[in-house]
Structure 1
């Protein structure tokens, strides 16, 4: 199989998420990193590329020159898509440059700096004829896709209640207040809700197949001196009348990466936790809870296709991330859709609409606000 050629903007030396993207992209042998502009500092970009074994000519000082130079290469050599792993304020400028040069885009989330940019992104991608995907990693877990399949198949009945939580503790103390996620000029209007709240929001909508219509939020900084939120809660109302709660916190001391979702319908409920990702719990008033495990018969074909090793051999975050890259590589090659729910342009807009609404609602004292639609 011909590997799909990837370039990267951002993610240089010392950047956690850049390394994650590269490992995930490489896992199935379907994507090859061929170039990059890994930092706004030209020397750091060059060092980063050299450490990754790239030729100096394919390590660029800035993303604009990268797009121009790659587009000028023969079709069989140039990158085919770019992974965008920069701070939020650079997402749209990089995407615009990539689309203008004819390259597909795989972007980190949140998609843009603010909602207005998300609207611009929609117009740009829709008019380009190019592909766009968003790195909502947790959608890549087999048991998240299985949960979605069962809800959409009606096994729970009409959805009535959704509880989704993403709690971390890494910002509970002195995290270095020059961190870009806490800087409004680089992160946007939100830290916590933009960073992990968007994951919780996306997980709730993905698993239920329902859009959240409106919310009432209370967000803000709990550590004194911060300009952006490090914690928040939102009450949710779904389009079908279901109610929900979204909890996001980066100051919950001792928490690691505690993402979970619980969905309750008329007949049954389910629960999935990211820290035990190979299990999906089905609940009913008719008998004891049932624990479904990744890789076992009885799951849908989509969930089974996402596993790489036999049941009982745990797969986790990198494999889930790799499932997104594998699906995107198939899209770029023009292969048939295998039913995998790959986050894209709709999720990009929805995530930014969520952040914008949560910030506005909290500023208005928790007033219920409708989430904008496209």
Structure 2
């Protein structure tokens, strides 16, 4: 197995883009990955300028992703990038991922995976055709105590899961002041974001977190989406009743207009024996609660943990394992997946705990079905992953 760093390229994430910097920091935390090239903006001049600011060689700063894939393909195998991180607005995810995979590169994409469900289904076929790896940055599955929560549920400690409550609340779009900013403008534009803002941006994260921890899938929904701020074309607030395929009921609340709220992501899972409670604002703490004995506070770094949680922890007890570290756990796992792939070893997404195309399809199905359900007078809608119906 190679003792060299995994070589990464990036599309999007140029100067002034929030999420691009987050991806680059996360990729470098464990020393397994190095950024070697990029096409950082749809504006060729901005792309080149961003590459220079990142101290990349002039010849590895590209004016477009098409030019980057062509240029990298022509380099010796030991020099060219091995995977590309896609951190553009949603409408560009599919064409970039498709060309990257068919050009021989692995892909790690920001979520949602594609602009619509049909593209996600098509992308799954392209992944098989290309034979390359695909990962999706559902960041919150990277937290150590989220992984421990998943393990506790799977162990049966909670008993039969009966209820799931997941909330993702923000306040940054509570009025029009931020609409013209770079982060808001494309998220509120149907041509770039797709059919949803709030559910597509954060609601899908909440749905993925619930399914990941519970080991169950959302089967049907009853949804109420809305645009609280006048004249918005896309939703900024959502309430969704859930039914899971293990007969559990639940509720998903997602909001970008909850004034004063930060990135307040919280998951509560109730069983007939015990319950779990985890909140991103206090990521090192996981509550395990019972009816007939004192609640247990599980703290990151203290005591024994499952292998997935233990390997995701980097710091001694009391030091926060935060958002960047959670992001980094997906990157370091994807790097290990690439190493296994290139060594001819088992390299599936489940083995390496990397969200993949199945999570991508389920995410897009959740977004589209939630929007459709909200627009319907029918109460319950079964989640449909067939984009032709």
Could you report, residue by residue, the CA deviation over 1:124-157 in whole angstroms, capped at 9, with x for unpaired residues? 1122211110001110000000000110111111
What is the match of residue 302 of structure 1? Answer: 308
Q: 1:96: Cα distance to partner?
A: 0.8
Q: 1:340: Cα distance to partner?
A: 5.0
TM-score (norm: length of structure 2): 0.94
Q: 1:63 is matched with which residue: 62, 65, 69? A: 65
Count of aligned residue pairs for this structure pair: 374
Instruction: List runs of 5+ in structure 1 lacking aligned partners.
Output: none
TM-score (norm: length of structure 1): 0.98
What is the match of residue 179 of structure 2? Answer: 176
What is the match of residue 372 of structure 1? Answer: 384
Could you report, residue by residue, the CA deviation over 1:160-195 in whole angstroms, capped at 9, with x for unpaired residues? 000000000010122124700000000000000000
CA distance in 2, matches of 1:227, 1:48: 32
CA distance in 1, matches of 2:378, 2:354: 32
CA RMSD of aligned residues (A): 1.3
1:352 aligns with 2:351: no
CA contact (8 A) 1:141 1:306 kept: yes
What is the match of residue 83 of structure 2? Answer: 81
**Which runs of 4 or more aligned residues in structure 1 lie more than 4 Å from their structure 2 counterparts after TM superposition?**
335-340
Q: 1:23 is matched with which residue: 22, 25, 40? A: 25
CA contact (8 A) 1:217 1:366 kept: no
What is the match of residue 289 of structure 2? Answer: 283
Q: 1:339: Cα distance to partner?
A: 5.3
1:191 aligns with 2:197: yes
CA contact (8 A) 1:302 1:340 kept: no
CA distance in 2, matches of 1:373, 1:11: 30
Equivalence map 1:1-374=2 (5 Å): 1-174=3-176, 175-177=178-180, 179-334=185-340, 341-365=353-377, 367-373=379-385
CA distance in 1, matches of 2:249, 2:357: 25
CA distance in 2, matches of 1:127, 1:288: 53
Q: Secondary structure at the match of 2:294?
A: strand
CA contact (8 A) 1:112 1:352 kept: yes
Q: 1:302: Cα distance to partner?
A: 1.9
Q: 1:266: Cα distance to partner?
A: 1.3
Structure 1 residues 227 and 366: alpha-carbon distance in aligned structure 2, compared to 1, 3 A threshold = farther
Could you report, residue by residue, the CA deviation over 1:18-55 in whole angstroms, capped at 9, with x for unpaired residues? 00000000000100000000000001001100000001
Q: Secondary structure at the match of 1:90?
A: helix
CA distance in 2, matches of 1:369, 1:58: 48
Q: 1:296: Cα distance to partner?
A: 1.6
